[in-house]
């Protein structure tokens, strides 16, 4: 596969789900390759088939172990599964990061499974967009389920979570204070709570804390269930899959999938519009003008609002 491959040449192997074509297309989207737009334009009408699950939670909670188990379970049903490991703290993008590769090595050689790590560096327009693009490409490549693993609780994760249909928040026993910290961002987005490492002491307490927190948030039409798992042993996996399906069915019945699709469309359109408008305005004005405006703002000769007006007029 040479570097000069065009979108048209990539499309067919991509639609067949060929891993190399998929990997290349994801990189193109990440790097803003000239052919990237053509790919999206061709694929856009075919999207919307894949079920997209998110797994989020603190480092070491067992997300990758759980992902591996879920993926294997879905594989046994004959599904093809895409896995995106999103780590904003990692400088590495592309192949699976070493730890995950080892943890997921049993599934990594299976052509019905595609694993990719997504990192901030190189992701033009941010991690959430790169992740959304990768989800779309997996969808177009015929993957039935996409699992998105995200670490941490930053804005990147919250944005990434907006890309999934059902979001699992993974907690572990013995993280009392951490629950407080996690609460602010990610708790509201949970469709499912998973208490992993339930083989350890303290699962009851985590469950009480989650229930207490749920009591504080406004009543929702979907009451996120709290499930227990021992990912390293595969315990609790069928129950999690069953709840994910239940949530999916509930979303469909509520028109929730269309709503999510529309929200995502709006977010995507807004951010692309802002980015593209800015790029074009800068290019039209020229770098020297932009710099002189910046200098004028800093020198208190021009206020920033007026400067933006100038460049856009």
Ligand X SMILES: Nc1nc2c(ncn2[C@@H]2O[C@H](COP(=O)(O)OP(=O)(O)OP(=O)(O)O)[C@@H](O)[C@H]2O)c(=O)[nH]1
Binding site for ligand X (CB under 6 A): 59-65, 103, 151, 196-197, 199-200, 230-232
Cβ nearer to Mg ion, comparing 59 with 215 = 59
DSSP state letter for 112:
T
- Residue 190 binding target from Mg ion, ligand X, none, CB below 5 to 8 Å by type: none
Cβ nearer to Mg ion, comparing 14 with 135 = 135
The encoded tokens of residue 192 equal 């499912």
Minimum distance of Mg ion from residue 37's CB (angstroms): 32
Q: How many helices (H) and strands (E) does the chain have?
A: 14, 7
d(CA 312, CA 280): 10
Minimum distance of ligand X from residue 112's CB (angstroms): 21
The encoded tokens of residue 42 equal 């061709």
- Residue 60 binding target from Mg ion, ligand X, none, CB below 5 to 8 Å by type: ligand X
CA 221 to mean position of chain CA atoms:
24
Collapsing DSSP to helix, strand or coil, 200 comes out as coil
Minimum distance of ligand X from residue 110's CB (angstroms): 18
Rg (CA), the chain: 21
Of the candidate spans 63-71, 124-132, 271-279, 298-306, the one that interacts with Mg ion by CB under 5 A turns out to be: 63-71
- Interaction residues for Mg ion, span 64-83 (CB under 5 A): 64
Instruction: Tell me whether residue 154 is exposed, middle or buried, using C-beta atoms within 10 angstroms of its C-beta: 0 to 12, 13 to 18, 19 or more.
Output: middle
Minimum distance of Mg ion from residue 152's CB (angstroms): 11
- Residue 150 binding target from ligand X, Mg ion, none, CB below 5 to 8 Å by type: none
Residue 17 sits at the vertex; the CA angle it makes with 16 and 18, to the nearest 5 degrees, is: 100
Which residues contribute to the site for Mg ion (CB under 5 A)? 63-64
């Amino acid at each position: 596969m040479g570097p000069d491959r065009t979108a048209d040449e990539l499309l067919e192997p991509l639609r067949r789900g060929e891993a190399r074509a998929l990997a290349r297309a994801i990189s193109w989207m990440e790097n803003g390759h000239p052919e990237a737009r053509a790919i999206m334009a061709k694929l856009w009408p075919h999207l919307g088939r894949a079920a997209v699950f998110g797994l989020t939670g603190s480092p070491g909670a067992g997300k990758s172990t759980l992902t591996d188990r879920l993926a294997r379970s879905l594989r046994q049903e004959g599904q093809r599964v895409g896995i995106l490991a999103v780590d904003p703290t990692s400088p590495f993008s592309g192949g699976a990061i070493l730890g995950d590769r080892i943890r997921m090595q049993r599934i990594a050689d299976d052509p019905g499974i595609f694993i990719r790590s997504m990192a901030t560096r190189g992701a033009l327009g941010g991690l959430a967009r790169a992740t959304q693009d990768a989800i779309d490409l997996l969808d177009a490549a015929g993957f039935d389920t996409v699992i998105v693993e995200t670490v941490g609780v930053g804005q990147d994760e919250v944005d990434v979570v907006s890309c999934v249909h059902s979001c699992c928040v993974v907690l572990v026993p013995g993280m009392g204070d951490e629950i407080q910290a996690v609460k602010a961002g990610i708790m509201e987005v949970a469709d499912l709570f998973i208490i992993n490492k339930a083989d350890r002491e303290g699962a009851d307490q985590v469950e009480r804390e989650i229930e207490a927190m749920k009591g504080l948030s406004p009543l929702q039409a979907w009451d996120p269930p709290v499930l227990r798992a021992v990912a390293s042993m595969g315990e609790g996996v069928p129950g999690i899959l069953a709840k994910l399906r239940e949530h999916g069915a509930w979303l469909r019945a509520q028109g929730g999938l269309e709503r999510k699709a529309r929200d995502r469309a709006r977010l995507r359109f807004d951010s692309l519009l802002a980015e593209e408008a800015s790029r074009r305005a800068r290019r039209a004005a020229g770098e020297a003008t932009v710099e002189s405006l910046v200098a004028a703002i800093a020198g208190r000769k021009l206020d920033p609002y007026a400067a933006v007006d100038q460049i856009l007029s």
